[in-house]
Structure 1
Amino acid sequence: MSKPVVAIVGRPNVGKSTLFNALAGEQISIVKDTPGVTRDRIYADVEWLNHKFTLIDTGGIEPESKDIILSQMREQAQIAIDTADVIIFITDVRQGLVDADAKVADMLRRSHKPVLLVVNKVDSFKKFMTDVYEFYNLGIGDPIPVSAASQLGIGDMLDEVVKHFDEDQLEEAEDERPRIAVVGKPNVGKSSIINKLIGENRVIVSNVAGTTRDAIDTEIVWNKKPYVFIDTAGLRRKNKIKEELERYSIIRTVTAVDRADVVVVVIDATEGVTEQDAKIAGIAHERGKGIIIAVNKWDAVEKNDKTIYKYTNEIRNTLSFMPYAEIMFISAETGQRLPKLFEKIDMVLENQTLRVQTGVLNEIMTEAVALQQPPSDKGKRLKLFYITQVAVKPPTFVIFVNDKELMHFSYVRYLENKIRDTFGFQGTSLKFIIRERQEKER
């Protein structure tokens, strides 16, 4: 089930980041981020009244002249129109209605996407309400007064946001075909891989543009089984500044990964694995997807008997936060090992939905505890009572313990490795939830 995407657009200093932070809560700046992934504050997962959505900040503008402001705002509006289901257009009651606001409003109106006009910095509804009415002149609906800084009116605004979430997305959930997102930096060969797969299968390809996304979905049938490939390429604007391209491709990646079951992270063999690759892989890891790392252009690398070994180590080091990811070396150009991609996808899908019986899990846990004593602190030792699997995609386990504080990350990792020793779970992350239980409750 893919989450709706909500984007924030607005001029400099109208309070985009303040609103973003107010909605995202403190979740983002806390250091519980994936090791090895630096988090640009581009997106956050937000929940409101049982609706989950991905919030996107389309970018900061710090230019000098009005022309640049306008052209960059158009750029941001375009990103929002391309990727979002709902757009929050934020204006500033103290600066009043500005020419740039009107021009961007025109673009947004023509996009036929739901747009919420939010007037920020309304610290007192009494005092500013007459100024808020001025924004009716933009002609994109009722202005919603908020103060991001004092968190006034945010709930009313979110109520309006979730009203626009689309029922189309629920239909996607009923579609049984596995969804594979092909992600990676620009020019690593994402589209070439998909084109080669289409070519080799001689299938009839149905390119249906996603309902609100501009990623193209392609059905490919392999061994009589249909798969939907989500291509995040299609970014061919050469004149863009590198940072903007990166920001844009990360936003596109987030929306594609959300819709996928398995994510194929494509790395360019001639460049090696980079920090940008780690960022992109981190998005799939954080969202608990099945992951295959496909090293493309393998035909272009000079090899000896140690090359694969050296490459694998380099990838494992840079992507140390996801040791479970499957790695394969391919060439879209020659088609080398591409048929194996489907075998890997099937294996990862199977592992993503694998359920382990409670009895077996508790046997593994008991044995693990016997082999390595749980940590203790100030004379109190961690006790593990019980483990059970509560979900799939990714496989999620709840462990009941006497004291949550004592359950160190390293001991969870140790148990995870024991479970993997038995069941493999290659290509998928595992999620562990630690719950406390008093001795007498047992």
Structure 2
Amino acid sequence: MSLVAIVGRPNVGKSTLFNRILGQRKALVEDFPGVTRDRHYADVTRYDKPFTLIDTGGFEPVSEDRLLVQMREQSQLAVEEADIILFVMDGREGLTPADHEVCGMLRRVEKPVLYVVNKVDSDKLEDLAGEFYALGVGELHTISAEHGRGVPDLVDALLDHLPAAPSDAEAEREIRLAVIGRPNVGKSSMVNRLLGYERVVANPQAGTTRDSVDTPFTYNRQRYVLIDTAGIRRKGKVSQKLEKFSVIQALKSMERAHVVLMVIDAVEGVTEQDLTVAGYAYEKGRGIILVVNKWDAVAKDQSTMKRYQEELERTFKFLSFAPVIFVSALTGQRVAKIMSEVEKVAAEFDRRIPTAMLNKVLAEAERSHQPPVFHGKRLKFFYMTQVETRPPTFVVFVNKAEGVHFSYQRYLANQLREAFGFSGVPIRIHYRDRERDRKD
């Protein structure tokens, strides 16, 4: 799909326009500059020509503030990637020297640019918007992204520049990979290292990434989408509305992902927040890889890694199936191993086991360890079948499902893992009464 980038100075309403075109509230919107710091991608499929829309941090050409400089760099990258550009200006504030400078830069990119004057929500402001013709551009699109005024005409003009979607093109099968963890554990640096360039803002200030940021890429001929999420904090620590929305975005990113990289700070060690974040991923049934970052900063001897891994196994008891990789996003140490592990976990996430093989394991498990007694009668298991993948989900038919004790459920899950592996993948086993199933 074509890439459409929304660019402009901070706080001119780019994210509001992004949400308006997308048709849902996906980007962060707050009434102060600098809220949107990274490029933010979303596929827009509600029109006859689908496209990918990119929201960006604002240009601030004269600023030397490090964060604003990084935001400018991100916007410039978006312009380089985009096929069409929406340059948004503030109709209430009027034409500024920064608008002139950005406009001059856009003239040099040799791509279609639609010049948009936002916050024009009255006829009076419509008249005042004429000053923007001083930029020497052809057509101006005056809109109010907040109220929707003029946006349909802008979208029509945008669609005129887009190529028709191929009628016989099939969407390529993709694997979605989310990078999760507490704030400031190095998630954005990890994304940049994996991709080989500075895709997202990496800044020592905790909480720099507020939106979930999607980046498509290909590895070993397989299409992936890498999702860099805002750092999740415990509910009691999330005070501002902005931070609360970031948590929602991160959780939604897990819902969209197939595999998650759970990033842990090797220097700080495992914290209660790490357990909370990992618990979210486990509850959502995602493939999980534990990535211990900043390993270069840990004082080590010959057994340090072994001791650390044993500590992880004790702490993350519910993630005993998850592989562990010790890396340094700063130096690149072992980062190359991550994608090969992702391939394995993604394959397990999609794995389907024939019913005959499952029932062979079930019968052997019963012989090795008899089912429990319930109300004076021993439970009888009839058969097992797999009903879903992503994650692998099984149903076991039994004479009294309520009598299957938790310890025996765990035993059967372990038998499945011993027989079939499922490395990095949670498995779900549901128990149903055979008689009730027949009635249904």
Q: Smaller-chain TM-score range? A: 0.5 to 0.7
Q: Which residue is 1:370 aligned to? A: 367
3-state secondary structure, aligned to 1:227 = strand
1:230 aligns with 2:227: yes
The match for 1:339 among 336, 341, 350 is: 336
CA deviations over 1:325-372 (Å, ceiling 9, x no partner): 121111101111111111110000000011101001001000000000
Following TM superposition, the consecutive aligned residue runs of length 4 or more in structure 1 with deviations greater than 3 angstroms are 204-207, 240-250, 438-442
Structure number with greater Rg is 2
Counterparts of 1:311 and 1:246 in 2: how far apart (Å)? 31
Q: TM-score normalised to the size of structure 2?
A: 0.56
1:311 aligns with 2:308: yes
Q: Which residue is 1:387 aligned to? A: 384
Q: Which has the higher contact order (CA 8 A, sep 6+)?
A: 1
Return 5+ residue gaps in structure 2 as ranges: 1-29, 42-117, 120-145, 148-169, 202-209
Counterparts of 2:295 and 2:409 in 1: how far apart (Å)? 36
Structure 1 206/333 Cα, relative in aligned 2: closer, same or farther at 3 Å? closer
1:195 aligns with 2:178: no
3-state secondary structure, aligned to 1:284 = helix
Counterparts of 1:434 and 1:378 in 2: how far apart (Å)? 17
Q: Which residue is 1:182 aligned to? A: 179
Q: Is the 8 A contact 1:206 1:219 kept in 2?
A: no
Counterparts of 2:307 and 2:403 in 1: how far apart (Å)? 38
Q: Which residue is 1:14 aligned to? A: none
Counterparts of 2:239 and 2:388 in 1: how far apart (Å)? 38
CA deviations over 1:37-56 (Å, ceiling 9, x no partner): xxxxxxxxxxxxxxxxxxxx
* Number of residue pairs aligned between Structure 1 and Structure 2: 275
The match for 2:428 among 418, 427, 431 is: 431
Q: Which residue is 2:352 aligned to? A: 355
The match for 1:273 among 264, 270, 275 is: 270
TM-aligned CA deviation for residue 381 of structure 1: 1.2
1:402 aligns with 2:432: no
Identity %: 44
Counterparts of 2:327 and 2:346 in 1: how far apart (Å)? 20
The amino acid across from 2:364 in the alignment is E
Counterparts of 2:270 and 2:383 in 1: how far apart (Å)? 40
Counterparts of 2:437 and 2:245 in 1: how far apart (Å)? 54
Q: TM-score normalised to the size of structure 1?
A: 0.56
The CA RMSD over aligned residues, in Å, is 3.8
Q: Is the 8 A contact 2:212 2:250 kept in 1?
A: no
Return 5+ residue gaps in structure 1 as ranges: 1-72, 84-109, 112-138, 141-172, 208-212
The amino acid across from 2:295 in the alignment is W
Counterparts of 1:316 and 1:305 in 2: how far apart (Å)? 19
Aligned 1:115-154 pairs, distance under 5 A: none
Counterparts of 1:410 and 1:241 in 2: how far apart (Å)? 35
The match for 2:409 among 412, 418, 429 is: 412
Q: Is the 8 A contact 1:191 1:233 kept in 2?
A: no
The amino acid across from 1:335 in the alignment is G
The amino acid across from 1:325 in the alignment is A
Structure 1 255/430 Cα, relative in aligned 2: closer, same or farther at 3 Å? same
